[in-house]
Amino acid sequence: MSVNLQTPIDYLKGVGPNRADLLRKELGIHTYQDLINLFPNRYIDKTRYYKIKELQRNTSEVQIVGKIVGFKEVAQKRGKRLVATFQDETGTIELVWFRGQKWIKENLKQNLPYVIFGKINWFAGKFNMAHPDIETVTAHKSGISIGMQPIYPSTEKLATRGITNRMIMKIMQQVFVESKGRFVETLNDSLLAELKLINKSSALLNIHFPKNQELLARAQFRLKFEELFYIQLQLILKNLIHKSKIKGFPFDKVGDNFNTFFKEHLPFELTNAQKRVLKEIRADMGSNAQMNRLLQGDVGSGKTIVGLMSMLIAIDNGFQACLMAPTEILSVQHYNGLHNLCKNLNINISILTGSTKTSNRKVIHEALENGELDILIGTHALLEDKVKFKNLGLAIIDEQHRFGVAQRSKLWKKNTSPPHVLVMTATPIPRTLAMSVYGDLDISIIDELPPGRKAIKTVHRYDNNRLKVFKFIRDEIKLGRQIYIVYPLIKENATMDYKDLMDGYESISRDFPMPEYQISIVHGKMKPNDKEYEMQRFIKGETQIMVATTVIEVGVNVPNASVMIIESAERFGLSQLHQLRGRVGRGAEQSYCILMTGHKLSSDGKTRLETMVRTSDGFEIAEVDLRLRGPGDIMGTQQSGILNLKIADIIKDNDILQHARYHAKKVLNEDPSLSKTENQVILNTYRSLSKYKNIWNYIS
């Protein structure tokens, strides 16, 4: 009978309640299963036995077979050390103990064959090894043969409380003893055969106690594939179930609003990418399933116009639409932009934010409930209970990574049936991450800029070039252009950032004095009305320079602004730098982004700046960002739990991830309900994962 892996860790021989408590708190190990899934960080190769004459001064950890031929005690400043002469047929080495000497002398026998293992040092003309691991050759041969010794994740607390790496190895061996090394297979025969994977029991044995490098590599591949395969299976199944169970409103006609706008009021020719994405959206909304689509496109690629045309389809089919944005500034910008585009159509658009007056709110609430209002744009205010739609057919969410899952689901509940959902983002999500995190959404990408847009020239300048930069600003202002100067905002130290901004503002005011120059200033400590007033002055061209914190990262559209200067650029993340750069380059003129830094830069800082200067491809930038920061950071805290992978690494194991997604799709295409006999094992594993793991409920 195989051991039940859900058994609490307290029952494992050699653990007991105190150690179990520590393992739970420090490493999150509750059950045998959790222990088995504690995979080593690295390995010490014990497949090789060295001869003493082969030792090099740089050899780090070695294993030698030989015998002790004598002991001596050597006095030192404090107490004494015990030294043994250890010999094989090629030479001798000294073994040294600074503590536990009584036990050593009583328990180690001379002239008995031992295997020693440890780090060698060169001291006073000869090799020595301090506190070696030591066991008799007989014991060494009879234990689970450890060719490569695993080194497990640990914490300081575990080490000080006696749960050493050796201790973890011992209890790990105990799990294998109790289970007789037999573990339930989790992949079907055809996958094992097609991918030449080793079986589950063999993979687990060789991940913890690999016989050699080759078996270790095969065990790692097998377990990484399995982990990613089940994540992909979960996401693809979720999408299939979503499409079959959650009925959407079938928008079967493309009517007057859409056609009139397309033929008569479209401000520019759509790019091929925009046309392709619109086609995908129309197909989704025309089917019987609810659309759940992620629309990615770089800053300025024209997502908004695609969003508007999707809303017009909803309106043509007798439904309402809403657009939710994370900040008031962005909501106002969307409102102004859409209002302008729809001015010749008979469409009623309103905006609702935290600062909408109570009297206006009442009017909006009524018009929304009786269906007079076609499109509502706003911030989190749209989620309030008082906001009720007559028939919401399409919900668009902009920059969705700024909204939590709970907030999004609130929007769906405003209807008897969930509306179609289009999630827009200008933060390019690397393909690897998109497959892991948004694998249950269909993804559309706008990957070309509207014609006539010039690439932004990006340069890196050190602080000692500031006078040249200021001269460049004056020249641009003479040509009638406007300038952004942005200071970093690091939340931990709002006072310092405020000081940076104010110091910067003062020095810029000295170099660009009134009345010749006018400067706007915008930061987080200002009242919304004051912020809006300053923004409007800049938008109308009454001020030439806007000094700001990252408040303007998302959503200020001033086609006449052609220069973005980012101060202390090394303090910004890559995606933020990319977002800020996207604030310029919105008109027909050549635009520039100048990254200002001091001379002291970390290697990551240098990589970020070099990447910005080299490329403006958002997806390439996102890949570099992912490598530098890791997946958890990029997704923000509310989604980082999802990538709490046990063995796979979605950056390094991108190829395995692609494989896993391909095979998960293939299995589900052939057997969507996993009801075939050969897929019984996959269905069982999937069910038990869903039951015991909480990582499956992480997607919007």
Mean pLDDT of the chain: 85
Residue 583 confidence (pLDDT): 84
CA separation for the pair 134, 68 (Å, rounded): 11
- The more confidently predicted of residues 698 and 455 is 455
Whole-angstrom CA distances from 179 to 30, 182, 201 are 17, 6, 10
Confidence band of 694 (pLDDT split at 50, 70, 90): very low
Q: If we measure between CA atoms, which residue out of 570, 574, 567, 571 comes closest to residue 596?
A: 567
Q: Which residues contact 96 (CB under 8 A, 6 or more apart)?
A: 81, 82, 83, 128, 129, 130, 131
pLDDT digits (tens, 9 = 90+) for 220-244: 999 999 999 998 898 888 888 777 7
**Average confidence (pLDDT) over 499-522:** 87
Surface-to-core class of residue 503, CB atoms within 10 Å of its CB (0-12 exposed, 13-18 middle, 19+ buried): exposed
Q: Say yes or no to pLDDT of 643 above 70.
A: no
Q: Where are the domains of the chain?
A: 47-145, 256-446, 457-615
For domain 47-145, give the CATH superfamily.
Answer: Nucleic acid-binding proteins (2.40.50.140)
Count of residues making up the chain: 700
Kindly report the CATH number that applies to the domain delimited by 457-615: 3.40.50.300
For 6-44, give the DSSP string: TSBGGGSTTTHHHHHHHHHHHH---BHHHHHT---SEEE
201 contacts 183 by C-beta, under 8 angstroms: yes
Same fold for the pair 256-446 and 457-615 = yes
60 or 151, higher pLDDT = 151
Coil vs helix vs strand at 320? strand
What would the two tokens of residue 299 be? 């800053």
For 256-446, give the CATH class.
alpha beta
Compute the radius of gyration of the chain from its Cα atoms: 32
Q: What is the mean pLDDT of residues 642-667?
A: 82
519 or 585, which is more confident: 519
Distance between CA 402 and CA 400 in Å, rounded? 5
Could you tell me the pLDDT band of residue 697, with boundaries at 50, 70 and 90? very low
Flag whether pLDDT at 552 surpasses 70: no
447-465 core/surface letters (b: 16 or more CB in 10 A; e: else): bbbbeebeebebebbeeee
Q: How many other CB atoms are there within 10 angstroms of residue 240's CB atom? A: 16
Q: What share of the chain is helix, strand, coil (3-state, %, to 5)?
A: 45, 20, 35
